[in-house]
A and B are shown apart, each in its own frame.
Chain A
Amino acid sequence: MSSTVLSAPDVAPRRLTPLLVLGGLTMALAASVVVGLFSGAVSLTPGQVGTALVAWLSGSEASDPMLAVITAIRLPRLLLAVLVGSVLAVAGAAMQGLFRNPLADPGLIGVSSGAGLGAVSVIVLGNWLPFLNGPLALPLAAALGGLLATIIVYRLGQSAGATDVATLLLAGIAINAIAGAGTGLLTYFSNDSELRSLTFWLMGSVAGSGWQQLLLAAPFMLVCGLALCLLGRPLNAFLLGEDVALHLGYPVERIKAVTVLLCGVAVGAAVSMTGVIGFVGLVVPHVVRLIIGADHRLLLPASALLGGAGLVVADTAARTLVSPAELPIGILTTLLGGPFFLFLLLQNRYRQ
């Protein structure tokens, strides 16, 4: 483990003040949302976008269906991208801190693959089991799968009232493999149209959401995301080791349970809306850490802001690059984030 990636907060003092960092990232997020609001398959002038927003805010129906595109399609989609990006990134940062492992991300404890299995079950088995149908069946099954996987992994990681982080990690890997095999088995039984559908679902997309779905999942993501942002102090103590954290007076076991559950619920809700979007949870926290250091009080909210902005940018690219078709967003997050992350990593090595 490189000392820069997970150094204790005081070891690497930075010149950037917290206010500057959070202010700058908030501006970046706002800018990405504005750009996203003005771009799309339907080309609208800034004036039209303004008219649509004003009409919507004042509660009147937009007369022109082209203006309704802004409020019925673009706005809920942007908000979903902000929420999902933030939640994935902050959960990734919290997991890396909790496990003191730079490779940890929400996918590691089985949330993503559990949710994936839930969703694929609905897509494939819906043909035979009528109760698995309906517009909310897929998100509910995905959220349930994610939560279930999290609980199983967490229970497996517990022995004699204490959580063994190494066992937790290994249990996560095993649950991932089992859920992956279940998904594979269902893939085997699927027909062509189901196969196409589930392949695209597993690559992720924020396209499916209107207000109804957004309002369903948003409370879970908002509450858990904000709660995760408040875990800065205890996670800083964890960086020094669990024993030290315990001696400093932190309720170590409760913090572990709360963090894992918050991540499970938040990411489960996110994945249920968008499918599996990889990379954000892993890389965004590292990028933030390379810029501002490992103080979780700043790292957690900064990761949330950068994750939200990043996913909005990726989604804007996904829906405009090959319009009227659409690219799976998971491909873009990796294509945009991967090289950038490598660049930061190499630069950091030169500096040493």
Chain B
Amino acid sequence: MPIVLMWVLLACAWAVHADGALDTQRVVVAGGGLTATLYALGVEDHIVAVDSSSRWPPATAEKPQVGYMRALTAEGVLSLSPTLVLASGEAGPASVLHLIEAAGVPVRQLPAPRSAADVRTTIHTLARLFERPARGCELIEHLDAALAQARDIVAGYDEHPRVLFVLSADGQLLTAGRDTAAHAMIELAGGRNITDYTGYKPLTPEAAVELAPDVILTGDHVIVAMGSRQALLAKPALALTPAGRHGRLLVMDSLRLLGFGPRLGETVARLARQLHEQP
């Protein structure tokens, strides 16, 4: 008898632990990739609020805001009386997430995706959570098809262009090393990231010349801040590189490029095509 009881208890615990037990009626989302995935799954009606990094699709603008995902406030989130908080692994602060959980609202954190496999996992998890398995499978198939197309494009070229990713250019150049979303995107699209330090760091201008990138890749926010493409390419550090001399500057929507959301497949395919265009 005690053994049976233990099994029942365990089964209950498992059921509570499994996603099926979470109430997804009113969800606050903190993380652009998660929001985009929920919209792609067609469950946007469940979203009661999003964070400021959720800017895709444009319809997210109509949702109430809870501020920036790294600076959530417990009271702000709880005031929306959510039944669930879905947060990226980068969201926080952790103390606030604990407070929200202590107030009886489950918080589900999903790791910030850095690879195609991570994006698949996110889609899969969310599809199960919101009981849209068929739509989830469709999205994953679609993603895989676009990624396969990108691989074909990459396989068709024997050289891998040397790419420098510029995160910002206010004064000095902040560029992407290893372990960054930009690095992962460059490698997926068949380019080679030419800097070998980790994270986003200032690159000394001479090194930019010596590393001789064929292509400079940047988000549209950098062009907005600099005023024009020419202004960015006119920086001595970039002007003297092969990319600068041939005007090979690729600009992409920052959110799309670094967001690792459901649009990853098309983004990689587009980047692969643009990287390998002849100057």
Q: Which residues of A contact B (CB under 8 A)?
A: 40-42, 65-66, 68-69, 72-74, 76-77, 119, 122-123, 126-127, 130, 133-135, 137-138, 188, 191-194, 196-198, 200-201, 205, 207-208, 210, 212, 274-275, 319, 322-326, 328
**What would 4 more interface pairs be, CB under 8 Å, given A73-B205, A197-B168?**
A133-B224, A193-B168, A193-B174, A323-B207
On whether the beta carbons of A134 and B204 are closer than 8 Å, the reply is no
Complex Cα spacing A74 to B226, Å: 22
Q: What chain A residues lie within 8 Å of B239 (beta carbons)?
A: 72
Q: List 22 A-B contacts (CB under 8 A).
A: A69-B209, A73-B206, A73-B236, A73-B240, A127-B224, A133-B227, A134-B226, A135-B226, A135-B231, A137-B227, A188-B71, A193-B200, A197-B167, A197-B168, A198-B170, A200-B172, A201-B170, A207-B171, A208-B235, A324-B208, A326-B172, A328-B202
On whether the beta carbons of B209 and A73 are closer than 8 Å, the reply is yes
Question: Which residue of chain A has the shortest Cβ distance to B242 in the bound complex?
Answer: A65
Is B62 close to A, CB under 8 A? Answer: no
Is B97 close to A, CB under 8 A? Answer: no
On whether the beta carbons of B168 and A41 are closer than 8 Å, the reply is no
Complex Cα spacing A197 to B219, Å: 14
Question: Which residue of chain B has the shortest Cβ distance to A188 in the bound complex?
Answer: B71
Contact with A along B233-273 (1 / 0, CB 8 A): 01111011100010000000010000000000000000000
**How many B residues touch the partner, as a band?**
35 or more
Is B142 close to A, CB under 8 A? Answer: no
Complex Cα spacing A245 to B203, Å: 51
On whether the beta carbons of B171 and A324 are closer than 8 Å, the reply is no
Q: Is the interface of A mostly helix, strand, loop or mixed?
A: helix
Q: What chain B residues lie within 8 Å of A323 (beta carbons)?
A: 204, 206-207
Which of B167, B197, B219, B224 is within 8 Å of A324, CB to CB? B197
Question: Which residue of chain B has the shortest Cβ distance to A207 in the bound complex?
Answer: B172
Is B195 close to A, CB under 8 A? Answer: yes
Question: Which residue of chain A has the shortest Cβ distance to B200 in the bound complex?
Answer: A196
Which of A137, A193, A275, A325 is within 8 Å of B203, CB to CB? A325
Complex Cα spacing A193 to B70, Å: 13
Complex Cα spacing A76 to B235, Å: 12
Complex Cα spacing A130 to B227, Å: 8
Question: Which residue of chain B has the shortest Cβ distance to A70 in the bound complex?
Answer: B206
Is B221 close to A, CB under 8 A? Answer: yes
Closest beta carbon of chain B to A316's beta carbon, Å = 11
A122, A127, A323, A324: residue with the most chain B Cβ atoms closer than 10 Å = A324
Complex Cα spacing A76 to B237, Å: 12
Q: What chain B residues lie within 8 Å of A212 (beta carbons)?
A: 234
Q: What chain A residues lie within 8 Å of B170 (beta carbons)?
A: 119, 122-123, 138, 197-198, 201, 208
On whether the beta carbons of B200 and A207 are closer than 8 Å, the reply is no
Complex Cα spacing A311 to B206, Å: 18
Residues 117 to 149 of chain B near chain A (Cβ within 8 Å): none
Is B45 close to A, CB under 8 A? Answer: no
Is B225 close to A, CB under 8 A? Answer: yes
Known interface pairs A41-B210, A66-B209. Does A200 touch B234 (Cβ–Cβ under 8 Å)? no
Q: What chain B residues lie within 8 Å of A122 (beta carbons)?
A: 170
Q: What chain B residues lie within 8 Å of A198 (beta carbons)?
A: 170
On whether the beta carbons of A324 and B209 are closer than 8 Å, the reply is no
Complex Cα spacing A270 to B79, Å: 48
Complex Cα spacing A122 to B225, Å: 9
Complex Cα spacing A239 to B197, Å: 51
Q: What chain A residues lie within 8 Å of B228 (beta carbons)?
A: 134
Which of A133, A200, A324, A328 is within 8 Å of B195, CB to CB? A324
On whether the beta carbons of A126 and B224 are closer than 8 Å, the reply is yes
A73, A123, A188: residue with the most chain B Cβ atoms closer than 10 Å = A73
Q: What chain A residues lie within 8 Å of B211 (beta carbons)?
A: 324
Known interface pairs A42-B209, A69-B209, A73-B209. Does A196 touch B226 (Cβ–Cβ under 8 Å)? no
